[in-house]
Amino acid sequence: MSYTSFNPVPRTLMGPGPSDISPRVLAALSRPTIGHLDPQFITMMDEVKSLLQYAFQTKNELTIPVSAPGSAGMETCFANLVEPGDTVIVCQNGVFGSRMAENVTRCGGKLVLVEDEWGEAVDAEKLREVLASNPEASIVAFVHAETSTGVESDVKALCSIADEFGCLTIVDAVTSLGGIELRVDDWGIDAIYSGTQKCLSAPPGISPVSFNEKAIKKITSRKVPVQSWFLDLNLVMGYWGGGAKRAYHHTAPINALYALHESLVLLQDEGLESAWARHAKHHNALRVGLEALGLQFVVEESLRLPQLNAVALPDGVDEAAVRGALLNKYNLEIGAGLGKFAGNLWRIGLMGYAANEANVRLCVSALDAEIGGKGLGTVAVNNYYQG
């Protein structure tokens, strides 16, 4: 058997992640691998930490990239903060909330589930009632940007209610970080995790996390050790927090971290608020185009995520066939529905580097051609960008 090098045809990535990666970030990936305890690498690690503090808007010392994808960031939060017997409230309004719930039970926690409809935000008043009737609860967890439905929940309001009841908060910011407003310190978030392949537009496989002093106190005063050796922050802190005394824990994904570093430098140079504004602007262009094609958003306007646009399928359209045509004819990937929404909608991502005018034009004109839009979407997008 003899294989040759793998050279994928490039695609435009407008699904739920991964998103398009800037050539600058891809170039960073291919720089020479150096040792993970090399002084140069340690300097870069310190820069990654401080760039992540900026992206998260936090001063938390424990702000690090976990060497595994977003799901591992989720497990890092639950495995470290939940002790057997702890009562944990999970607010669930989509696929990722149900994964949080699964984490709680696997950590031996007592799960209290607060369910909201798919396509709706997490209901703060419902959370308040559940907290009032479960005074033993010590943690509240929810998703900021639910990628399965395209809905944003009000992190600030939910954290403030959790705090009234003395609970720590765990927030999923995998899809929100870098795409919409997120302020870890101002909003009182205790533990948060994200991913690199959504609005940060770095390669998948790393999960930035951040923990404040309250959360660290809970972790360092655990009665039982964290079940996972790899994710135990008590050990990971010796590597990422050790300064010059950094001790070997595991081999960091060195080149992937170069790429994350470069994507965070891009974010810093653009400015966080400008990045949020760019996502909003191109979302509006996409909306105008899709609506001109007769497509309708699934989520109420005030709750929509600019970076994840969930649109209902037009009557008589074969969703998989259209997605296939976009991929094969235009090298354009958009997302299908997930979970309960499978087969019912498309999820069109505008994440990170992919949130740009050329992508909006490509997506709307391709859909226009494939669903018989008579050029109306293309004209509307043109008008938006020219107006």
Ligand X SMILES: *Cc1c(COP(=O)(O)O)cnc(C)c1O
Site for ligand X, rule CB under 6 A: 17, 69-71, 96, 143, 147, 172, 174-175, 195, 204
DSSP letters, 203-242, are -SS-EEEEE-HHHHHHHHT-SS--S-TTT-HHHHHHHHS-
Residue 69 beta carbon to ligand X: minimum distance, rounded to whole angstroms: 3
The residue with its CB nearest to ligand X is: 70
Kindly tell me which of 12 and 92 has the beta carbon lying closer to ligand X: 92
What letter represents residue 159's amino acid?
Answer: C
Residue 82 CB coordination number (10 Å): 29
CA–CA gap between residue 95 and residue 87 (Å, rounded)? 21
332-336: strand order across its sheet: 12-14, 332-336, 345-349, 308-312
Compare residues 306 and 377 and give the one whose CB is closer to ligand X: 306
Closest CB 313 distance from ligand X, rounded Å:
21
Write down the least CB distance from residue 283 to ligand X, Å: 17
Is 324:148 a contact under the CB 8 Å cutoff? Answer: no
**Six-digit token pair at 100?**
């949080």
Residue 162: which of 148, 141, 179, 147 has the closest Cα? 141
What's the N-to-C CA distance of the chain in angstroms? Answer: 57
Smallest separation, CB 103 to ligand X (Å): 11
Q: Do residues 12 and 356 touch, judged by C-beta distance below 8 A?
A: no
Nearer to ligand X, 138 or 197 (CB): 197
Min separation Cβ 93 and ligand X, Å: 11
Q: How far is the CB of 208 from ligand X (least distance, A)?
A: 11
Q: Which is nearer to ligand X, 208 or 373 (CB)?
A: 208
Select 18 or 109, whichever has its Cβ closest to ligand X. Answer: 18
Q: Which is nearer to ligand X, 138 or 175 (CB)?
A: 175
How do 62-66 and 145-146 pair as beta strands?
A: unpaired
| Cβ neighbours around 230 below 10 Å, total | 16
